[in-house]
Amino acid sequence: MQDRETLTLLAKNSIAKKSLGQNFLIDPEALAKIVECLDLKPGEPVLEIGPGIGFLTELLIESGAQVTAVELDDNLVTRLKNTFGKKLNVVHKNFLDFDLNEYGPEKFKVVGNIPYHITTPIITHLFGEVGEPQSWIHKVTRLAMTIQYEVALRLVAHPGEKDYSRLTILSNYFTEAKLEKKLPQDSFLPAPRVRSAIVSMHPLSEPPIQCTDLKLLRHLILLGFGSRRKMLKNTLHSLEAQLDDSLDNVLRSCGISLNARAEDLSLTKFAALTDAVARAKGAMK
């Protein structure tokens, strides 16, 4: 592994494109931690998102992994090919446009120093939406990435906490997420204005809940978090005309307080509420 001084010099000699959210990770310990989170075995396929200059790429290759890197920047694609040659498969594409079914391995791990402004789209592209998994979801066995610290808190939040959000629900539906390490701003060059963190996500073999109407579940989550400071009975008020009972009674039947907000409900509680709403709607038919 190259030392921090060398990584810093290499990063300074590269032009980071703000439009692509490029901040090069120059902390050797952080780079090593990301690789550690993947628990790689020799020959194991790894898909790297946005390899940039290739600091993380180098460690992945040294681990014995078979690395495919998806990079959008024309100049960096050329640099990566020149640096690693046949040791690295480079795909010149926006990762959000990359069809993971076209990636050969039946099972693989995903890693990256993620552009912060597209963290949620990347997670959605990998896993899907609640009730609408991507067709390749069972191919992804582990994910490790650097993201904005505040977003990392949302991934691992618990009901009732201020960071609990729709992203938390999405994370809980598909994965077990863990905040592995908080990173200072000077871990990157150029240094971002926000704090960062390394997170790992272990995909679940099956969703942790059963729900009769997944489309309705997504709708209730969307409504609930659409005005997160409002009580659920107010954010879901538009449903009341479709129910054979009052919304208050539907909430009570699930053991949900009338003062509850979306951030107070676990994924399990949202599923129970969905089933109760579906029953109340069905009784009107």
Per-residue pLDDT at 17: 61
Per-residue pLDDT at 193: 84
Q: Is 63 exposed, middle or buried (0-12, 13-18, 19+ CB in 10 A)?
A: middle
Nearest 5°: the CA angle 204, 209, 214 is 105
Per-residue pLDDT at 192: 84
Q: At what angle do helices 119-127 and 166-174 cross, to 10 degrees?
A: 30
Per-residue pLDDT at 184: 94
Q: Which two tokens stand for residue 40?
A: 């790689």
The torsion angles phi and psi of 211, rounded to 5 degrees, stand at: -150, 135
Per-residue pLDDT at 7: 80
> Which of 1.10.8.100, 3.30.450.70, 3.40.50.150, 1.10.8.50 would CATH assign to domain 214-282?
1.10.8.100
Question: Where are the chain's structural domains?
Answer: 4-203, 214-282
Tens-binned pLDDT, residue by residue, of the chain (285 aa): 678 888 888 877 776 566 555 688 999 999 999 999 999 999 999 999 999 999 999 999 999 999 999 999 898 999 999 999 999 999 999 999 999 999 989 999 999 998 888 999 999 999 999 999 999 999 999 999 999 999 999 999 999 999 999 999 999 999 999 999 999 999 998 888 889 999 999 999 999 999 989 999 999 999 999 987 899 999 998 888 888 888 999 999 999 999 999 999 999 999 999 999 999 887 434
Contacts of 274 (CB under 8 A, 6+ apart): 211, 212, 213, 216, 217, 220
Q: Which two tokens stand for residue 2?
A: 């190259």
How far apart are the C-alpha atoms of 77 and 158, rounded to whole Å? Answer: 40
> Which of 3.40.50.970, 3.40.50.2020, 3.40.50.150, 3.20.20.60 would CATH assign to domain 4-203?
3.40.50.150
pTM: 0.92
Q: Which residues of 118-152 are buried (b: 16+ CB within 10 A; e: fewer)?
A: bbbebbbbbbbebbeebebeebbbbbbbbbbbebb
Per-residue pLDDT at 20: 58
Per-residue pLDDT at 285: 43
Nearest 5°: the CA angle 211, 236, 120 is 65
Per-residue pLDDT at 24: 84
**Distance from the first to the final alpha carbon of the chain:** 66
Q: Give the chain's count of helices (H) and strands (E).
A: 11, 11
Helical H segments across the chain, by residue range? 4-12, 28-38, 55-62, 74-84, 119-127, 149-156, 166-174, 214-226, 232-235, 247-253, 267-282
